[in-house]
Amino acid sequence: MASICIDGFNIALPNGSGIATFGRNLLTNARAAGYGTQVLYGPRHGRSKNPILNEVALTDAGEGPKGSRLRRLYRQFREPMGRTLHPVTPTGEVIWPRAGGGMPAADYFWTSQALFSDANTRFRARRRFTEVRFGDGETAPDLMHWTTVLPLRARGVPNVCTIHDLIPLRLPHTTLDNKRAFLALCRRIAREADHVTVVSEATRQDVIRLLKMPEERVTNTYQAVSVPEAVTRRSDEEVAREIEGLFQLGWKEYYLYFGAVEPKKNLGRIVQAYLASGVKTPLVVIGGRAWLAEAETALLNQMRERSESMAERLLQFDYLPYPMLMSLARGARATLFPSLYEGFGLPVLESMLLGTAVLTSTGGSLPEVAGEAAHIVDPYDVEAISQGIRALDMDEDYRTALEAAGRLQAARFSPKAYQARLKAVYGRFGL
């Protein structure tokens, strides 16, 4: 059985990320498609003779040893020797954090101490990639799939890289990336990766145009949207009781925004449009601050501090466990997601799959992901967003129509369809 290895750069984050969700989704669907699955980590701890400690290093929340500065420099600049990756077999003794999604759907792990941070430091300083080689021939993967742009390349196997978006170049004011370094990294990947995948046609066209890539070397796989059966099998009544008990919110009696709080997500205009709409239905905002969040949250915070009644209408949570978040999405009157630009837009499809109406935007991939199953607005037009909120609030028949259309639209992004697209990419390399 052919095996696929992915990087654990985002999967290892304590609260995950959109790309972490993509990585876990990729593993689950690759396994369902008949491939063995592996994950490459870059933990703070070095290799141990104790197999339990090697697995512990993959999930340890404590501080790892930094080592001497000389040793760190040696790790970062010891090319052309490259990095040898060491295998870690799950012991069955370590309980992985469920908040981050638990142990990934992988048969095998690889590690190299501080791999990702060292590789990024090396690339920033010298514009060079770090090569890695798998140290065990019997269990080495047949293909390396990088889930995001990283200055790394695996020796001896095909390298596939997913580029989720080129937002640092399209909307540079919304990110803190070093744009020169980002462009240099993406161009290098465009030249040297054996194949590039993207998650929307919008991103595919950006990659072809901005990175000068031949069309045949870029494949749009989209993503699969799925919600665990433990979430979907619960009755509406059970979910309604949970929402009432935890948040004092009624079934379909609030609007929901969920996602990171950063400029491209457009939270500032969402709040402005909601307030201007005059609706009394509460707005629930769920999202941890990412970067440049102050302007996005300024109006929200000021209005919540203004009065007790406003605080009851504007509810904010930095983070909620995934099952609780999905309960809130299922019970919302509508999800508001008029982002400025997205490479995919998973919250739109998750909401649709759960039977919730969606207001989204013309930004990036969102029109192709939402199809005709959402209320679509110009993300820069506060009045258009406000009118959309009023329409959703006043017209139950309209919401019902969007809910039905949304379920059909989400079905187009089923795991089965995604698995077929993955097999078509991996099949290019005889897998």
- pLDDT tens by residue, 373-396: 999 999 999 999 999 999 999 999
Q: What's residue 49's pLDDT?
A: 87
pLDDT, tens digit, 9 for 90 and up, residues 189-228? 999 999 999 999 999 999 999 999 999 999 999 999 988 8
CA distance 132 to 84: 6
Q: How confident is the model at residue 311 (pLDDT cuts 50, 70, 90)?
A: confident
Question: Residues with Cβ < 8 Å from 21, sequence gap 6 or more?
Answer: 346
The answer to whether residues 207 and 189 touch, using CB atoms and an 8 Å cutoff, is no
Q: What's residue 79's pLDDT?
A: 52
369 pLDDT above the threshold of 70? yes
CA distance 395 to 252: 13
Domain total of the chain: 2
Please give the DSSP secondary-structure letter assigned to residue 89. Answer: -
**255 or 107, which is more confident:** 255
pTM here?
Answer: 0.92
State which residues form the domain around 161: 3-224+415-429
The answer to whether residues 281 and 249 touch, using CB atoms and an 8 Å cutoff, is no
Q: How confident is the model at residue 64 (pLDDT cuts 50, 70, 90)?
A: low
The answer on 372 and 419 residing in a single domain is: no
Distances (CA, A) of 141 to 6, 87, 285: 10, 11, 41
The answer on 300 and 267 residing in a single domain is: yes
Using DSSP bridges, classify how beta strands 83-88 and 314-317 pair: parallel, antiparallel or unpaired.
unpaired
The answer on 303 and 176 residing in a single domain is: no
Number of Cβ atoms within 10 Å of the Cβ of 384? 19
**323 or 335, which is more confident:** 335
The answer on 180 and 67 residing in a single domain is: yes
The answer to whether residues 182 and 172 touch, using CB atoms and an 8 Å cutoff, is no
CA distance 363 to 13: 27
User: What's the mean pLDDT in 92-114?
Assistant: 87
CA distance 130 to 80: 8
The answer on 424 and 359 residing in a single domain is: no
The answer on 365 and 292 residing in a single domain is: yes
Q: What's residue 305's pLDDT?
A: 81
Question: Residues with Cβ < 8 Å from 152, sequence gap 6 or more?
Answer: 7, 115, 116, 119, 129, 130, 131, 132, 146
161 pLDDT above the threshold of 80? yes
For residue 345, the SS3 value is coil
CATH of the domain at 304: 3.40.50.2000
The answer on 251 and 398 residing in a single domain is: yes
**377 or 17, which is more confident:** 377
Please give the DSSP secondary-structure letter assigned to residue 429. Answer: G
Q: How confident is the model at residue 157 (pLDDT cuts 50, 70, 90)?
A: very high
44-48, 64-68, 227-231, 285-289: least confident range = 64-68
Q: How confident is the model at residue 408 (pLDDT cuts 50, 70, 90)?
A: very high
pLDDT over 70 percentage in the chain: 93
The answer on 180 and 46 residing in a single domain is: yes
Q: What's residue 44's pLDDT?
A: 87
Q: How confident is the model at residue 102 (pLDDT cuts 50, 70, 90)?
A: confident
The answer to whether residues 160 and 195 touch, using CB atoms and an 8 Å cutoff, is yes
15 pLDDT above the threshold of 70? no
CA distance 332 to 167: 29
The answer on 70 and 88 residing in a single domain is: yes
Identify the helix (H) or strand (E) that includes residue 390.
helix 382-394
Select from 391, 272, 246 the least CA-distant residue to 331.
246
CA distance 242 to 234: 11
Average pLDDT, the chain: 91
149 pLDDT above the threshold of 90? yes
The single-letter code of the amino acid at 33 is A
Output the DSSP codes for 248-295. Answer: ---TT-SEEEES-BSGGG-HHHHHHHHHHHT--S-EEEE--B-SS-HH
List the structure tokens of 4.
């696929």
309 pLDDT above the threshold of 90? no
User: What's the mean pLDDT in 54-73?
Assistant: 68
The answer on 342 and 292 residing in a single domain is: yes
Q: What's residue 144's pLDDT?
A: 98
The answer on 86 and 16 residing in a single domain is: yes
**Highest-scoring range by mean pLDDT, 57-71, 111-125, 415-429:** 415-429
The answer on 273 and 172 residing in a single domain is: no
Select from 104, 28, 92, 21 the least CA-distant residue to 55.
92
Q: How confident is the model at residue 176 (pLDDT cuts 50, 70, 90)?
A: confident
pLDDT over 90 percentage in the chain: 70
